[in-house]
Amino acid sequence: MREEIRFDQVADDQEAPEWNPKLYVVTRKDLIPGAQACQAIHAFAEFQDKHPKEYQKWYKNSNYLAFLSVKDEMKLASYVFRAKNAGVLYAEFKEPDMDFQLTAVVFDATLDAREMLKHEESALKKNIWGQAK
């Protein structure tokens, strides 16, 4: 694993790293647009709760987000597995009203997360007719 800059390694009087660290909020394309947004917010709240120090550093020094979507639950779960193996912090949300399916995950603002997710599309992307894909 390559060396990463993380917000918990940035002193309070230092500026954020030049690469504009983003929290990666990832949901599923197979959910309707409103559900994608709601599930993403749930996962974001989970990240705040589970990783308060990292959240505060991100909020204070960057506040950039990437809102992405993947094909389905299996693809989302594969990113959770990869994040665990790479040591990337994350928080997942499993929707009780959907039989506790994995619906969204937030990954910490790291270079490994950026590399892992760089090929995924923005969430709620519209097609040429103005409809969400």
Cβ(106)–Cβ(47) below 8 Å: yes
Residue 68, classed as helix, strand or coil, is strand
pLDDT value of position 126: 63
Q: Which residue, chain included where needed, has tokens 């309070």? A: 12
In a domain, 55, yes or no: yes
Residues 62 and 109: beta-carbon distance below 8 Å = yes
Cα-flanking dihedrals φ and ψ of residue 103, to 5°?
Answer: -115, -25
Q: Is the pLDDT reported for residue 43 higher than 90?
A: yes
pLDDT at 102: 98
CA distance 44 to 64: 13
Range of the domain at 56: 20-122
Q: Is the pLDDT of residue 85 over 50?
A: yes
Q: Which two tokens stand for residue 97?
A: 């009203």
For the cut 80, the answer to whether the pLDDT of residue 15 exceeds it is no
The CATH number of residue 26's host domain is 3.40.1490.10
Domain count across the chain: 1
* Range with lowest mean pLDDT among 44-48, 73-77, 84-88, 129-133: 129-133
Is residue 133, in this structure, part of any structural domain at all? no
Kindly state whether residue 14 falls inside one of the protein's structural domains. no
pLDDT score for 7: 45
